[in-house]
Amino acid sequence: MIQKMLDKPWGVTDELRRLIVLPYIRLLFAANGIAWGCGWRVFGAPIIQRHRRSVILLGDRLDLRSWPSSNPLAPNHPVVLATRTASAIIRIGQDCGLTGATVVAASSVELGDRVLVGANAVIVDTDFHPLSPAERRADLSAARTSPIRIDDDVFIGMYSLILKGVHIGAGSVVGAGSVVSRAVPPGVVVAGNPARIVRQVC
Ligand SMILES: CC(C)(COP(=O)(O)OP(=O)(O)OC[C@H]1O[C@@H](n2cnc3c(N)ncnc32)[C@H](O)[C@@H]1OP(=O)(O)O)[C@@H](O)C(=O)NCCC(=O)NCCS
């Protein structure tokens, strides 16, 4: 334990900061109507924009990293959790970790257990705006939305984009910087833009 602290002194600093701001962070979640789970480790305040009639449910032992110093990939913004409609749902299972990740649900975004979301990845179930100019002029917010489901043990690489309607099967891996716009079966590695299967997970 002591050796670990001597080897990685920045971890000690971050842990102290985490404990100092813990009351504020707990207040932030409470003010947003999000129940605090067991064993959470929250490094820095996330950005939370919860539609007051929507649901955000976060599982136990969640690890959220928003401070740049909280991860060597130095997230370039805090974790974002945003629900945009009364019926929107964000549900994150147990033992998940997100670093500077953005999760936006107009419909639903569900992560299973032990899902890891790498630095600055974005998971968004809506296009935000309609595609045709006429529809945009009529209603800028009338975007297409489609639920996202990310199954247990998925690992999403840094700077990836997960777009509307995507289902990622259990144990699959999304390569860094990928754009995932189609379903991913379980147990594979996908990469690229648009993401394609590059191999099986060993
Ligand atoms: C571009 C976009 C609007 C297209 O949506 P769509 O018409 O529903 O497109 P589809 O999901 O049917 O995909 C059509 C094809 O384009 C590919 N594709 C879709 N979006 C892509 C993207 N962003 N990058 C690369 N390929 C993409 C799909 O894989 C599919 O190819 P395939 O049939 O060979 O698999 C949408 O995918 C997107 O990028 N949405 C995010 C918009 C955004 O940034 N909003 C925030 C603005 S504030």
Residue ranges lining ligand 1, Cβ < 6 Å: 127-129, 131, 163, 179, 181-182, 193-194
Task: Give the pLDDT band of residue 119 (cuts 50, 70, 90).
Answer: very high
The residue whose CA is least distant from atom 11 of ligand 1 is 181
pLDDT at 130: 97
The residue whose CA is least distant from atom 34 of ligand 1 is 194
Is the predicted pLDDT of residue 1 greater than 90, yes or no?
A: no
- CATH of residue 7's domain is 2.160.10.10
pLDDT at 92: 98
Q: 141-179, pLDDT tens digit by residue?
A: 999 999 999 999 999 999 999 999 999 999 999 999 999
Tell me how far the alpha carbon of residue 198 lies from the centroid of ligand 1, in angstroms. Answer: 20
Catalytic-labelled residue, pool 51, 77, 129, 167: 129
Contact 176, 137 (CB under 8 A): no
Rg (CA), the chain: 17
- Domain that includes residue 160, residue range: 2-200
The residue whose CA is least distant from atom 20 of ligand 1 is 181
Is the predicted pLDDT of residue 202 greater than 90, yes or no?
A: no
Query: What is the average pLDDT score of the chain?
Result: 96
Is the predicted pLDDT of residue 4 greater than 90, yes or no?
A: no
pLDDT at 8: 86
pLDDT at 3: 84
The number of folded domains in the chain is 1
Please provide residue 84's backbone torsions phi and psi, each rounded to the nearest 5 degrees: -105, -10
The arithmetic mean of pLDDT across residues 126-146, rounded, is 96
